[in-house]
Structure 1
Amino acid sequence: MRILVVGAGASGGYFGGRLLQAGRDVTFLVRPGRAAHLAERGLRIKSPDGETVLRPRLITAVDGHYDIVLLAVKSYSLEVALTGAAPAAGPRTVVIPLLNGIRHIESLVRRFGMDRAWGGVCMIHATLDEDGDVAQMSGLHRLAFGPLDGGDDERLPAVSEALIGAGFDSRASHTIVQELWDKWVLLATLGAATTLLRGSIGAINKAPGGREFLHALAAETSGVAAAAGHPIQGKAAAMLEATIATTEPATSSMYRDLVQGLPVEGDAIVGDMVLEAAKHEVSVPLLSAAHTGLAVYSANL
């Protein structure tokens, strides 16, 4: 299957790169500047297991239809990416977003329709380093994908064959919307905590009142999910609890972007959670404070 990866940042570069390394037919749609950088240096993935240098096929404008489109951009770049990627979507194309939050699903359905817009959840600790290379900071590299209605789409076996067995943990999901909520709650908790208090989860836990703060914040985000009909349970709840209990210097990607003076996904991750809370009349004072702080930061960029 022909796979188009839109974006070659930390997530797109990693998952697209591993697919390419595994012999899949992968093309990257990137901006001219990123294309020039990758053409000169190669797509480099630096992981705990070593460094991989790949020479991917790069385009700056869509050159035809693809079977799978992986959208791997920041939320604030989504509309531009959708416009650029739209010509790649044929009648049977599957569009899988690897974005944070959940607002992008509505945009995908509006652009491509329920038949072509699927859900996708990626979990990875990675960033672009000072050389523009993908730096994987831990062994976490998970991908889940599936139709939004949870049904047995006839394309699912072929899509699964293309995306599974490429050097990272990958699986099809019949509960992808719930998994989107699971990830959103985790990211909103981590993002709000680390950006509001300007420190890692470990540092917050070691500070006076830090543990109580983290549990109160997790209760807010979990409460919003429950009110919206997507309670966080089982492994997702255990992962949230373990993450906020760590004494290690764990941070969020939003915090790492903030301390570097870069744009952040404050609206899509924290702001949208505040809006969702208002819809269900759930009180979220800590989330609201974090949202205000992120808005002030973004206004000063």
Structure 2
Amino acid sequence: MSDPRILVLGAGGIGGYFGGRLAEAGADVTFLVRQGRQKLLEERGLRIESQFGNVELDVKTILASDAEADYDAVILTCKAYDLDDAIKTIAPALAPSGFVLPLLNGVAHIDILNEAFGRNRVLGGSARIQVTVTEDGVVRQLNDWRAITIGEQSGEISNRVETLKAMLDKARGVEVHTVTDIMQRMWEKLVHLATAAAMTCLMRANVGEIVRTPDGEKIFIGLLDTVSDIAAAYGYRPSSEFLETYRRTFSHRDSLYTTSMLRDIERRGRTEVDHIIGFMLQKASGTGLDVQTLLLAYTHIKAYEQRLAAGRLT
């Protein structure tokens, strides 16, 4: 297939970074944004700060009210709690033969998107990147993670997957992988995220700060094993390579690694706790696994939400 016209929902961290890199490489990219973000992009451009090269781009933008069914691919990068609204927003913009590439955390969104658009119009996708948006709108990459993994739910390597890979291969500061087992990869990422988010949010600390406590590493690795066992109960046991990688990651005494969920809490924002940790707790029901640490983390974050809603955070 020829290079698709791409619509990126939002120009925040993930959408701004990968969409911006595609635009920098010459792809036909438009960002569907809110009015405030549109105004900032028109005035200052899309700005990316990264060890792989800074860039300031003039980019095309539209508002939801401007959307027409012109786009061959929609890259969906919303937060999980905005998914229902996101579906309503992108539906009018998607061409009749168009498809959606979601880069959301977790896996729960796949069934929702399949129901909305049809399974054959929804790719599986996963992004491994630490990125944030500064107060003045700069997309800032926080470390050297820059990978995007895509695949068909059916397991085939289709023409559209190969086309996206070729486009992303041209983009600076991006590593792209096409796989035949995307749901396995997405479950593995969910294991990683559920473990990391639960621990960093429960302890309000980064990985290194947790590991340097007397029992932090033991608790961290124990939770990784538990969450891995939950995934295994649904046919997605993480690979030995994955487990080895994250046992090292969650044992690094000098690590500064934190999670977007903790950053959401620290800025007094909403979190994806139900989509990530809550989802894992639901899946653990009936397995007989000891999920006390996961339950404590979930309750801790839900209590934070209660305080946030009541205006009792200072």
1:231 aligns with 2:237: yes
How far residue 146 of structure 1 moved from its aligned partner, in angstroms, is 1.1
- TM superposition score normalised by structure 2: 0.92
Which letter maps to 2:21?
R
Is residue 2:91 matched to residue 1:69?
no
Corresponding letter in the other structure for 2:47: R
Structure 1 moving runs of 4+ over 4 Å? none
1:255-274 aligned at under 5 Å gives the runs 255-274=262-281
Closer/same/farther in 2, CA of residues 275 and 162 from structure 1, 3 Å limit: same
Aligned to 1:289: 296
2:54 alignment partner, SS class? strand
1:68–1:159: 8 Å Cα contact kept in structure 2?
no
Bigger mean CA deviation after superposition, 148-157 or 175-184: 148-157
Q: How does 1:83-232 map to 2 (within 5 A)?
A: 83-167=88-172, 168-232=174-238
CA shift digits 1:98-138 (9 cap, x unpaired): 10011110111011101101100000011111222111011
C-alpha contact (below 8 Å) 1:224/1:280 kept by paired residues: yes
> Matches of 1:53 and 1:279 in 2, distance apart?
51
Match of 1:60 in 2: 63
Pair 1:260–1:112, CA change in 2 (3 A): same
1:19 and 1:26 in contact (8 A); partners too: yes
Alignment of 1:15-34 (within 5 A): 15-34=18-37
Q: Higher strand fraction: Structure 1 or Structure 2?
A: 1
Give the Å deviation of 1:240. Answer: 1.4
Q: Which runs of 5+ in 2 are unaligned?
A: 309-314
- Residue 6 of structure 1 contacts residue 29 of structure 1 at CA under 8 Å; is this kept in 2? yes
Structure 2 SS opposite 1:93: strand
Displacement after TM superposition at 1:183 (Å): 0.6
**TM score, norm. by length of structure 1:** 0.96
Does residue 39 of structure 2 align to residue 36 of structure 1?
yes
Q: How big is the shift at 1:299?
A: 2.2
Give yes or no for contact 2:207–2:256 (8 Å, CA) kept in 1: yes
Whole-angstrom CA distance in 2 between matches of 1:102 and 1:258: 22
Which segment is superposed worse, 18-27 or 56-65? 56-65
RMSD: 1.4
Matching residue of 1:46: 49
Sequence identity, in percent? 39
Offset of residue 155 of structure 1? 3.0
Give 1:141 deviation, angstroms.
Answer: 0.3
2:130 match: secondary structure: strand
Q: What 5-or-longer segments of structure 1 have no aligned partner?
A: none
3-state secondary structure, aligned to 1:45: strand
Letter in 2 for 1:272: F
Greater mean alpha carbon deviation, residues 12-21 or residues 62-71: 62-71
C-alpha deviation, 1:234, in angstroms: 3.4
For 1:74 and 1:239, locate their aligned partners in 2 and report how far apart those are by CA, in whole Å.
26
